[in-house]
């Protein structure tokens, strides 16, 4: 069996979570997220984000989180702006469109959006009410290209959105990895302050499953639980989600796991750099995209599994290698040894 570098959810969950789930297994709790574990986890997240007025809701997956937030936030005639690499545009089977909302996709800069780009979309939809009204800007941190927003970039985008009556929504599937990138100056507290709604990804950072949606804007907070229930996302055993986030955040395990994943990816990246191999995207998180000759890709494929990300030319393609909170250091060493030997 090959060693997988295809994604960061190939493993189950951190052992501490399994232990917590086990020893609380027969403790009776109320259902549908009203249990004490969900409440304590929500309080802890808001404390660490310094966002006491925000509300937290736990759901099971990322596509579900994106669909719920966008459907709950937008009226029928409103749309969401996203980079054309954004997960809602490329990898969610039309989930957003199925709720009745169009995605205005635009070419991002390394997976990120700027106020200038958003303004171009607004300028192209001036014939109102005959065209859709843009109401939300969707971004990811880290992005689908493994890149991150700086505090200044997010501040500029946040200010622009406020000035133009747009919600700013951050997909946090790999939020931990974005915050813990070696060159990051953006904290959880900054994100909570600068966005109207964001979510914290547990699935890709140590949890069995689960994401925590954090809502700052009062209009999105209103009736959000109704949207969760109506769309089949309210788990009767919501305790499972709350317990996991409680364990992840009680002593910053969440951030430690993200940092570890990033560090392992950077070890691999450095080996490619030493081989004079270039990258499709410049990243400091747990995703790297080396551009390899098809013969080199074939050599790596003998022992490792990964995504063939993008064809560069007839002889070269970018692949994606991704590390997780549980990537074994011996697997890293084995890959590095193979990279060194590439011809």
- Dump pLDDT digits (tens) for 133-177: 999 999 999 999 999 999 999 999 999 999 999 999 999 999 999
Of 251, 286, 310, which residue is a domain's last? 251
Domain that holds residue 178: 15-251
How many domains, the chain? 2
Is the omega angle on the peptide bond into residue 70 within 30 degrees of 0, that is, cis? no
The torsion defined by the Cα of 202, 203, 205 and 207, in degrees rounded to 10, comes to: 70
Q: 122 and 26, same structural domain?
A: yes
Q: 139 and 263, same structural domain?
A: no
Mean pLDDT of all residues in 302-330: 96
Q: 218 and 106, same structural domain?
A: yes
Q: 318 and 172, same structural domain?
A: no
Q: 225 and 303, same structural domain?
A: no
Cβ proximity of 304 and 279 under 8 Å: no
Cβ proximity of 140 and 86 under 8 Å: yes
Q: 228 and 267, same structural domain?
A: no
Of 235, 251, 267, which residue is a domain's last? 251
Show the tokens assigned to 93: 């089977």
> What's the confidence (pLDDT) of residue 100?
96
Show the tokens assigned to 119: 């303004």
Q: 261 and 238, same structural domain?
A: no
pLDDT tier, 343 (very low <50, low <70, confident <90, very high otherwise):
confident
- Single out the residue of 42, 46, 79 nearest to residue 245, CA to CA: 42
CATH number for the domain that contains residue 259: 3.90.1150.10
- For the chain, what is the mean pLDDT? 97
21-37 residue pLDDT tens: 999 999 999 999 999 99
Of 251, 278, 312, which residue is a domain's last? 251
Length, in residues, of the chain:
343
Task: Determine the Cα–Cα distance for residues 254 and 126; give it in Å rounded to an integer.
Answer: 43
Q: 275 and 161, same structural domain?
A: no
Mean pLDDT of all residues in 298-313: 96
200-231 residue pLDDT tens: 999 999 999 999 999 999 999 999 999 999 99
> What's the confidence (pLDDT) of residue 319?
98
Q: 96 and 54, same structural domain?
A: yes
Q: List, in sequence order, the alpha helices (H) in 52-187.
A: 62-73, 87-90, 95-98, 115-123, 151-163, 175-179
265-293 residue pLDDT tens: 999 999 999 999 999 999 999 999 999 99
Is the omega angle on the peptide bond into residue 142 within 30 degrees of 0, that is, cis? yes
């Amino acid at each position: 069996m090959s060693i997988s570098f295809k994604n960061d959810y190939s493993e189950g969950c951190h052992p501490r979570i399994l232990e917590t789930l086990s020893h609380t297994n027969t403790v009776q709790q109320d259902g549908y997220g009203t249990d004490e574990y969900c409440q304590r986890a929500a309080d802890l997240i808001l404390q660490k984000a310094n966002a006491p007025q925000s509300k937290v809701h736990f759901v099971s997956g990322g596509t579900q989180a994106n669909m719920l937030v966008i459907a709950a936030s937008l009226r029928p005639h409103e749309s969401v702006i996203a980079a054309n690499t954004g997960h809602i545009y490329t990898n969610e089977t039309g989930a957003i469109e199925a709720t009745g909302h169009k995605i205005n996709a635009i070419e991002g800069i390394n997976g990120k959006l700027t106020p200038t780009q958003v303004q171009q979309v607004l300028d192209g939809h001036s014939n109102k009410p005959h065209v859709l009204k843009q109401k939300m800007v969707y971004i990811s941190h880290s992005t689908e290209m493994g890149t991150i927003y700086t505090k200044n970039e997010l501040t500029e985008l946040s200010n622009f959105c406020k000035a133009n009556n747009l919600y700013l929504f951050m997909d946090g599937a790999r939020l931990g990895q974005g915050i813990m990138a070696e060159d990051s100056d953006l904290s959880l507290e900054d994100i909570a302050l600068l966005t109207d709604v964001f979510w914290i990804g547990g699935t890709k950072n140590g949890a069995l499953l689960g994401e925590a949606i954090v809502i700052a804007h009062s209009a999105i907070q209103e009736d959000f639980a109704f949207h969760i229930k109506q769309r089949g996302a309210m788990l009767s055993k919501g305790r499972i989600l709350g317990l996991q986030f409680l364990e992840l955040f009680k002593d910053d395990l969440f951030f430690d796991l993200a940092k570890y994943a990033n560090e392992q990816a950077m070890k691999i990246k450095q080996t490619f750099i030493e081989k004079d191999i270039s990258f499709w995207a410049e990243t400091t998180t747990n995703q790297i995209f080396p551009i390899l000759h098809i013969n080199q890709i074939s050599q790596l494929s003998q022992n490792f599994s990964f995504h063939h990300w993008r064809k560069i030319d007839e002889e070269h393609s970018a692949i994606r290698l991704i590390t997780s909170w549980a990537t074994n250091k011996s697997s890293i060493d084995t890959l590095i040894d193979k990279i060194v030997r590439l011809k």
